[in-house]
């Protein structure tokens, strides 16, 4: 693996990897390098993910944040090897770059090899549990199946394991509810059941794609607490995908903000949340609902719509929506695409304004209004 300048600014989770006795830092558990996922469609080439780099250690949580259509789900499906799963899509999707999981490269790997890793080494939970749970089979039998695919055990042993997992994720009377069908569970319980199914094989990487969006606020908090507890217990690496910065601000060790298929800001969660450097992140923070404010007080929502991923704006993709697009001289924002620049402490962002300028705007103009 070669080192690019961008890789040197990778997240703190990667940077915290301890040096070995040989003096060589071990490779991060998950490392994504220059990932591109482009779809060939009748309307043109959709550049859903266009050169993404990040890494993640076991026991750490990475939050991937961005508006709808920024490429978050496509990124997670790429890690899970799911863009290749459908024959129909295989002819339409162009994927390049590298995804290293525990020393194995997945982009060029045989699809069967990646399929074997799914469920055992990596698992995913979705916004809608019914997309993962089949309506015709009992919740328990689906967890039993998921367990037996990767473990050579009889049904009785697997059922015991399913009941244990349902108990662990907080389903009351798990020995009875194990035979219920998904529709007999509430939305929050279905989410818990899906988490139980995802974790039944102790995967080392868990990807949660908008895991709480469909739930009410109280259940949301419970599910996030559950994910946090389970991560501590299982020591897995977790990626949480959300459009809501508030959901991941406390949970994540690192944050990666995506815009138009690229990373515009990343770093330790407290840096990105409390000292954000990119005008798009300011907008995300400004549009976050706050319980201590009236709804009308959301001050700096991101105006306009996300960019087309077929005709991405030239220069900085955010420039048509950026209130500060005119600040950099020589029309730079509209002509040159900004690269990620390190601001210190593993925090980097891609913006043409100088760091001093952005710090001034954040401190004087944005932060006081949030």
Ligand X SMILES: Nc1ncnc2c1ncn2[C@@H]1O[C@H](COP(=O)(O)OP(=O)(O)OP(=O)(O)O)[C@@H](O)[C@H]1O
Q: Smallest distance, Å, CB 66 to ligand X? A: 5
Helix (H) or strand (E) holding 127: none
C-beta closer to ligand X: residue 4 or 68: 68
Q: Least CB distance from residue 70 to ligand X, whole Å?
A: 4
Helix or strand run (H / E) with residue 320: none
Please report how close the Cβ of residue 331 comes to ligand X at its closest, in angstroms.
27
Counting beta carbons within 10 angstroms of the beta carbon of residue 308, is it exposed (0 to 12), middle (13 to 18) or buried (19 or more)? middle
Strand order, beta sheet including 254-259: 122-125, 205-209, 237-242, 61-65, 254-259, 262-268, 347-349, 341-344
Choice between 65 and 361, CB closer to ligand X: 65
Q: Which is nearer to ligand X, 49 or 205 (CB)?
A: 49
- What end-to-end distance do the CA atoms of the chain give, in Å? 42
Nearer to ligand X, 36 or 160 (CB): 36
Least spacing, CB of residue 37 vs ligand X, in Å: 8
Cβ distance to ligand X smaller for residue 9 or 70: 70
Kindly state the tokens that stand for 101: 């999981």
CB within 8 A of 129, min separation 6: which ones? 182, 187, 190, 191, 193, 194
Q: In the numeric block, which tokens belong to residue 370?
A: 């949030």
Residue nearer to ligand X on the CB measure, 78 or 194: 78
Residues lying near ligand X in the complex (CB under 6 A)? 39, 41, 46, 48, 66, 68-74, 89, 243, 309
Is-contact 211 129, C-beta < 8 A?
A: no
Q: In 3D, which of 289, 291, 288, 287 has the Cα closest to residue 300?
A: 287
| Closest distance of CB 301 from ligand X, Å | 17
Angle separating helix axes 187-199 and 139-150, nearest 10 degrees: 10
Q: How far is the CB of 53 from ligand X (least distance, A)?
A: 17
């Amino acid at each position: 693996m070669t080192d690019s300048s961008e890789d040197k600014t990778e997240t703190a989770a990667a940077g915290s990897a301890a040096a070995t006795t040989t003096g060589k830092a071990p490779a991060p558990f998950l490392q994504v390098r220059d990932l591109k996922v482009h779809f060939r469609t009748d309307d043109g080439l959709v550049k859903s993910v266009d050169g993404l780099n990040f890494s993640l250690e076991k026991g750490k949580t990475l939050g991937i944040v961005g508006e709808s259509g920024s490429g978050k789900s496509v990124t997670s499906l790429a890690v899970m090897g799911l863009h290749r799963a459908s024959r129909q899509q295989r002819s339409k999707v162009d994927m390049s770059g590298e995804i290293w999981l525990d020393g194995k490269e997945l982009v060029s790997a045989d699809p069967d090899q990646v399929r074997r890793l799914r469920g055992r080494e990596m698992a995913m939970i979705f916004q809608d549990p019914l997309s993962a749970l089949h309506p015709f089979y009992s919740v328990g039998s689906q967890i039993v199946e998921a367990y037996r695919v990767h473990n050579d055990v009889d049904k009785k042993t697997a059922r015991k394991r399913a009941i244990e997992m349902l108990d662990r994720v907080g389903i009351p009377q798990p020995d009875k509810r194990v035979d219920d069908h998904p529709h007999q569970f509430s939305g929050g319980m279905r989410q818990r059941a899906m988490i139980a199914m995802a974790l039944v094989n102790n995967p080392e990487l868990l990807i949660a794609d908008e895991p709480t969006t469909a739930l009410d606020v109280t259940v949301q908090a419970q599910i996030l607490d559950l994910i946090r507890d389970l991560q501590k217990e299982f020591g897995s690496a977790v990626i949480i995908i959300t459009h809501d910065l508030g959901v991941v601000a406390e949970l994540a060790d690192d944050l990666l903000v995506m815009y138009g298929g690229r990373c515009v800001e990343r770093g330790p969660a407290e840096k990105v949340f409390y000292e954000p450097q990119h005008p798009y992140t300011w907008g995300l923070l400004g549009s976050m609902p706050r319980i201590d404010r009236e709804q009308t007080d959301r001050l700096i929502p991101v105006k306009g719509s996300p960019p087309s991923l077929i005709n991405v704006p030239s220069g900085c993709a955010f420039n048509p929506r950026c209130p500060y697009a005119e600040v950099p001289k020589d029309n730079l924002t509209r002509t040159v695409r900004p690269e990620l620049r390190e601001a210190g402490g593993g925090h980097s962002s891609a913006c043409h304004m100088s760091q001093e300028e952005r710090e001034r705007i954040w401190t004087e103009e944005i932060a006081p209004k949030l």
